[in-house]
Amino acid sequence: MIKENVCLASLNYYKIGGTARYLAQPSSLEDLNYISQFTFQNQLPFLFLGAGSNILFDDQGFNGIVIQTLNLSRTIQYQPELECLEVTCSTKVIEALRFCMSHGLEGLELLVGIPGSMGGVFFMNAGTHLGEIKDILFELTTFDLKTGATRNIAKTQMDFAYRSQRFLKPSELIVSGKVKRAPVFVRKLGL
């Protein structure tokens, strides 16, 4: 789960960057707890990473631990009673869009063309000319690397700006988010 001396270029879309001292690829909250203990016992600087689509790594490398979330559970659940979609951080944007298309759900169109994972979308308030994720996001679940605690954050506690947020602690990793969704009436065209 924790590897040493990993080439950062292999972890991002632009294929640049030196070596990370450590790379952790957790697959569960238990793994995150272990990584948390390892990180703070060794007093390591840390960096959260998703799909690596919006990051440039320095050629000098990173003398700390990179925590890549792509091995965490990729889950998308539609909750019709709440008219919401719950999406985990490791889910790629294209996977969420395909799920919505195949289930007749609208709303995530504002993410069409955006690469990466949903954790990054939530963290940086991603969007297009159609809107930003903050427009439809109403709850986030996070894991605090420093304390090992999870927390649910309601929309009223969120403070987003253009491609950024001002409410997460530096040690908090987004685990999942809930967005408002509504079923689309699909009709067949008589061609």
- Quick one: pLDDT band at residue 183, thresholds 50, 70, 90? low
- Quick one: pLDDT band at residue 83, thresholds 50, 70, 90? confident
Compute the average pLDDT of residues 55-63.
96
Please tell me the number of Cα atoms within 13 Å of 146 on its side-chain side: 6
CB of 67 closer than 8 Å to CB of 188: no
Give the per-residue SS3 of 106-157. ECHHHHCCCCCEHHHHHHHCCEECCEEHHHCEEEEEEEECCCCCEEEEEHHH
pTM of the model: 0.90
Angle at 107 between CA 162 and CA 78, to 5 degrees: 115
Element (H, E) at 5: strand 2-7
Amino acid type, 132? E
For the chain, give the mean pLDDT. Answer: 93
Looking up tokens 């939530």, which residue turns up?
122
Compute the average pLDDT of residues 163-180.
96
Higher pLDDT, 92 or 187: 92
